[in-house]
Amino acid sequence: MSCRIAILASGTGSNAAAIMDYFAMRPSTAQTAVVISDNPNAQVLEKAKQRGVDAVCFLQKDYTSKAAFEAAVLQALTDAGADFAALAGYMRLVGPTLLLPFLGRMVNIHPSLLPAFPGRSAIQDALAAGVRKTGITIHYVDSGLDTGPIIYQGVLSVMPEESEHSLTKRIHEMEHFSYPRIIHACVENRVCMQQESVIWRDKLLCECWS
């Protein structure tokens, strides 16, 4: 049965667009059921509408607590029939109200080789630290900031004199290729989370993208 994916995003939504476009070509595998944002000005809302995907915005300030906000988001996921959630530039820590019902079924993407450079400015931080390799990490979501069991990491060499602009572009290209494919593996249960560990059933496929 086709999986129904919810995407949570706060900004531009280039990863969300890559996920929507990838699964639009594979409707028997999964469909993007809904896009949820916490930012009314997020471009991701328009990207969803352009693709005929339902888009909903929730403002945390409209709720008395984070738990109440997340209960509303969870209700929207339930109403959309979502059985998997992908964070794509969602700029909030996920609390227990939203996390526990989706534990092992919620993933995030981050533009560094975690655990190096968590947080909002990962690409700039990696450049400032002068690392020779950086990349992307896709992981199951837990209660921490960019923690959670790692499903996949893609490595990029930092070029001499590399600018933030060019590194960001190369990281985004890798993200847009990898994230939909890792989600595909997740929704087909080719990879899963068991007691804080990631179990790959077809590890060879994962390794050949590296």
Half-sphere exposure of 95 (CA within 13 A, CB side): 12
105 is a contact residue toward ligand GRF (CB under 6 A): no
151 is a contact residue toward ligand GRF (CB under 6 A): no
Instruction: Determine which residue in the list 175, 178, 183, 185 makes contact with ligand GRF, applying CB under 6 A.
Output: 175
Instruction: Determine which residue in the list 88, 94, 106, 193 makes contact with ligand GRF, applying CB under 6 A.
Output: 88
Whole-angstrom distance, CA of residue 143 vs CA of residue 34 = 23
Annotation marks residue 110 as catalytic: yes
Short-list 1, 66, 64, 5, CA closest to 35: 5
> Of 33-41, 71-79, 108-116, 150-158, which segment contacts ligand GRF by CB under 6 A?
108-116
Shorter beta-carbon distance to ligand GRF: residue 87 or 195: 87
Instruction: Determine which residue in the list 55, 98, 109, 151 makes contact with ligand GRF, applying CB under 6 A.
Output: 109
Which structure tokens are listed for 59?
């403002």
110 is a contact residue toward ligand GRF (CB under 6 A): yes
Contact call for residues 31 and 20 (beta carbons, < 8 A): no
Which structure tokens are listed for 185?
């593996």
Contact call for residues 141 and 108 (beta carbons, < 8 A): yes
Instruction: Determine which residue in the list 11, 95, 104, 118 makes contact with ligand GRF, applying CB under 6 A.
Output: 11
Q: Determine the 3-state secondary structure of 154 from DSSP.
A: strand
13 is a contact residue toward ligand GRF (CB under 6 A): yes
180 is a contact residue toward ligand GRF (CB under 6 A): no
Q: Minimum CB separation from ligand GRF for residue 4, in Å?
A: 20
CB atoms < 10 A from the CB of 161, how many?
6
Q: Determine the 3-state secondary structure of 206 from DSSP.
A: helix
Catalytic-role residue among 110, 139, 172, 176: 110
Contact call for residues 182 and 151 (beta carbons, < 8 A): yes
> Of 6-14, 76-84, 150-158, 202-210, which segment contacts ligand GRF by CB under 6 A?
6-14
182 is a contact residue toward ligand GRF (CB under 6 A): no
Sort strands 30-37 and 106-110 into parallel, antiparallel or unpaired.
Answer: unpaired
148 is a contact residue toward ligand GRF (CB under 6 A): no
Shorter beta-carbon distance to ligand GRF: residue 82 or 141: 141
Query: Residues 6 or more apart from 151 whose CB is under 8 A from it?
Result: 107, 138, 139, 140, 182, 185, 186, 191, 198
Catalytic residues: 110
Footprint of ligand GRF on this chain (CB under 6 A)? 9, 11-16, 88-89, 109-111, 175
